[in-house]
Amino acid sequence: MPTTRPILEVAGLTKTIDSGSRRVEILRGIDFTVPAGQFLAIMGPSGSGKSTLLGLLAGLDTATAGKIVLDGEDITALDEDALARVRGRKIGFVFQSYQLIPTLTAEENVLLPHELAGERDGAGRARELLASVGLQDRMDHYPVQLSGGEQQRVALARAFMVKPPVLMADEPTGNLDTANGKHVLELLLALNRRERTTLLLVTHDRELANHADRVILLSDGRIAGDELRGESAA
């Protein structure tokens, strides 16, 4: 069961962009908190602001207004260097498009966050993670030698490499066929349970969201629904 300690606090989060002569409001004052250990699915139609919200929470984009407190630290107040250090220590991120480095092997891709954090001797954990997603025989392969499903499994292993307290995933099965998508989802949930990570997942797939403890629905840049599910609602 998730604890009641907030790992993430979001207050008045706003994102606007200038498009020609007009200002476009993407997020319009978002407020919510996430307890440590919760699996939160963020849903909504295309253009509702789901991916923008996740990018802000991960420190990959800058808010127009509002505050994001991640594990007790206000990341909206940090400069880029400090923000990069927080991302490296506290956030694992799984992209829809894998984002593997083509000149690195599967093992080297998984090791990368560990090395960027200045850590050493991570090969054992990298191999363990790759084995846990069924790629023990593909560690020396480059991304071009891997299928889409295998590349996303490498990306999952990489996201867990530094044992981040928060994992974020943006439509992680969106580029996969049904069978591969189901397998990647099962691996993601199994790894998340094992590592005891807080999981924030953007998806348009209601079946996928049914696995979550909680579902937030975005519409037109605002929270239109916030539902606890299963044991979390008890």
At position 24, the amino acid (one-letter code) is V
Consecutive 10-residue averages of pLDDT for the chain (234 residues): 74 91 91 95 93 94 95 92 90 93 97 85 93 95 96 95 94 89 89 91 88 95 91 51
Locate the domains of the chain by residue range: 36-61+78-233
At position 8, the amino acid (one-letter code) is L
Looking at residue 219, its pLDDT comes to: 96
Structure tokens at 21: 């002569």
**Residue 29's Cα: distance from chain center in Å?**
21
Looking at residue 22, its pLDDT comes to: 87
Structure tokens at 147: 């299928």
* CA-CA-CA-CA dihedral for 125, 4, 90, 225, to nearest 10: 110
36-61+78-233: CATH architecture: 3-Layer(aba) Sandwich (3.40)
Looking at residue 205, its pLDDT comes to: 84
Residue 81 burial (CB count, 10 A): 7
Q: Are 182 and 10 in contact (CB under 8 A)?
A: no
In terms of Cα–Cα distance, which of 171, 196, 198 is closest to 185? 171
In terms of Cα–Cα distance, which of 170, 227, 183, 234 is closest to 2? 234
Q: Residues near 108 by Cβ (< 8 Å), separated by ≥ 6?
A: 101
Looking at residue 104, its pLDDT comes to: 97
